[in-house]
Amino acid sequence: MREHHTTAPLAVVTGGSEGLGLAIADALAADGANLILVARNRDKLQAAAEELGRHGTTVHTVSADLSAPDAPAQVAAQVGHLSDRVDTLVNNVGIAHFALLRDTTIEAMNSMWHLNVQVPLLLSQHMLPALLNGHGSIINISSYWAHKMAAGRHSAAYSATRGALNSMTRALANELGPQGIRVNAIAPGAVHTPTYERSYLSPMTTEQRTAHDQQIEDSYPLGRLGTTQDIATAAAYLASARWTTGTVLAVDGGLTVR
């Protein structure tokens, strides 16, 4: 059944079943938003919905693999069956492949381009009527890798997609602002998410972990990794900041000033 306009805003969050997406959804629900969570894993979605239900807001889930070419249109259609308006669209899903230039594959480039650039653009396009109805806000989750590199991490293809997302954010803010839609991005530093733990920290030896912790302390003026709550707080701000658009907000513990 379609939900009609109520006082509660509606937020759509991709990758909303864990990590940054779940934390952002939690912050938006705490501010009174109803939610539509989009992710691949049905079990994780259900667990997230039960967790977020404690806020007393309505939580819907949409199971979809956004790496599929037709997924953005299908997700938007499912959102449309649930609501005729969207107040906040959080484009959080993304992927990173790090490789030397000589080892960078077409497949890796294409998968990053699709998920990191095309999916946010297509979801924004397909949900435009609902965003117009809600005088809504688009929040794209980018990365510091758009403009800061790290020794030993080879990021040309990945950094290119994040730079493109930042440029798209500013261009859409210019285009959609006259229609009442705000478009912003968040560029996090390294954040201790479940993915970061699984793919990066867990394989480390004790010595490597000690070196990692020292590198973080040396690289970040605030001396620590980010938490998912750090990013969620910024997203909640951008969702409600009525005179902020076209901003790529660095939430990175000062990494990019050093």
| Active-site amino acid positions | 158
Helix, strand, coil content of the chain in percent (nearest 5): 50, 15, 30
Residues belonging to the chain: 258
Could you tell me the two tokens for 150?
């790290």
Do residues 97 and 158 touch, judged by C-beta distance below 8 A? yes
Look at residues 152, 148, 150, 186 and name the one whose alpha carbon lies nearest to residue 166. 186
> Looking at the chain, which runs of residues are DSSP E strands?
10-14, 34-39, 59-63, 88-91, 137-141, 182-188, 248-251
Distance, CA of 181 to CA of 110 (rounded, Å): 29
From residue 199, alpha-carbon distances to 45, 95, 107, 174, 176 in Å are 21, 12, 20, 37, 37
Look at residues 97, 102, 99, 108 and name the one whose alpha carbon lies nearest to residue 154. 99
